[in-house]
Amino acid sequence: GVMEKLGLGPEVLLRENPRLIYARLTGFGQSGKYAKSAGHDINYLSLSGVLSKLGRKDENPYAPLNLLADFAGGGVLCAMGIVTALYERTKSGKGQIIDASMVEGVAYLSSFLWKSQNLGLWNRPRGENLLDSGAPFYETYKTSDGKYMAVGAIEPQFYKQFVEGLGLDSDKLPNQLSFSDWPEMKKKFASIFAQKTQAEWCSIFDDIDACVTPVLSFDDVASHQHNKQRRSFIKNDQEEISPRPAPILSRTPAVPSFRRDPYIGEHTEEILLECGFTKEEIAKLYFDKVIEISKPKANL
């Protein structure tokens, strides 16, 4: 209801321009019991049902930062809604209102979990299934230098390579899908990983198709050979590292800026002048606390 209070609700603006696409991104959506309630990623995740699936055995469910509901279920699916509406407008010539709920967005993003319930992937308690840290071949293991390796050797051919990389004989181990043996196998694999450094394990698994990779820190990610070859990470003029825009388009790839991120309000005056506001009008907006203007301090 914030935009309605400002007199800028979708009905008002769509009367002015019927082709307008008006996206409303909220946690709980534009209707329903919680529509006007406050919340955060963890609340939207919990109401979607997805949070109940996240976590290790005998531990509380945990939210993976605010990536799932805020950024993926909210931001990405809202953007997809805008693109979908833009495409539809090429046929109808009309705009429309997008009601993007983070609860529904993350639930829809997790459709795989719903559709695979009867496949045997999620029929055990949290933390005891194939992809939720239950399986010894889909897990992270600590190395002797306090770093970690990630293992995703699900398919039999990759699992065989993984086991051989550890120096074990798969014929002398329990069946890969023997659930009752999983806890003991995790202990066995953990003890072996703890005997070498991350670099030593990389030297073994980099040349083996076993779905085993290093868990890279933010400090290490840009210097990894694969990421360097693809130029997956960039540095700005302040030597700050960030991901390069993705995905890569063949004809019109994004051209990233190598300048530092702007300060809040740094370009407010510049942009308003471009939009036709006078310096006097801008000064009044600033005085009335409608806008924020912040000039970066010189580094002397």
How confident is the model over 50-62, as pLDDT tens digits?
999 999 999 999 9
Q: Which residues share a beta bridge with 212?
A: 151
> 41, 70, 145, 169: which one is catalytic?
70
- Residue 221, pLDDT > 70, answer yes
The answer to whether residue 149 sits within a structural domain is yes
In terms of phi and psi (left: phi > 0; alpha: psi -120 to 50; beta: otherwise), the region of 38 is beta
The answer to whether residue 87 sits within a structural domain is yes
Q: Within this chain, do residues 94 and 171 fall inside the same structural domain, yes or no?
A: no
The answer to whether residue 133 sits within a structural domain is no
The domain of 195 spans: 138-215
The answer to whether residue 221 sits within a structural domain is no
Strands 138-142 and 148-152: what pairing?
antiparallel
Q: What is the pLDDT of residue 122?
A: 83
Q: How many CA atoms lie within 13 A of 293 on its CB side?
A: 16
Considering 148, 180, 215, which residue would you say is the last residue of a domain? 215
Place of tokens 């995703």: 152
The answer to whether residue 246 sits within a structural domain is no
* Averaged pLDDT score across all residues of the chain: 94
Q: Within this chain, do residues 211 and 150 fall inside the same structural domain, yes or no?
A: yes
Closest-CA residue to 201 (of 185, 189, 219): 189
Q: In the annotation, is 70 catalytic? A: yes
CB 100 within 8 A of CB 78: yes
How many folded domains does the chain comprise? Answer: 3
Q: Within this chain, do residues 44 and 8 fall inside the same structural domain, yes or no?
A: yes
> 40, 145, 261, 267: which one is catalytic?
40
Strands 148-152 and 233-235: what pairing?
unpaired
The whole-model pTM stands at 0.86
- Weakest-pLDDT range from 54-58, 117-121, 130-134, 158-162: 117-121
Measured between alpha carbons, how far is 247 from 254 in angstroms, rounded to an integer? 9
How many other C-beta atoms lie within 10 A of the C-beta of residue 201?
A: 24
Q: Within this chain, do residues 148 and 106 fall inside the same structural domain, yes or no?
A: no
Closest-CA residue to 74 (of 38, 26, 3): 26
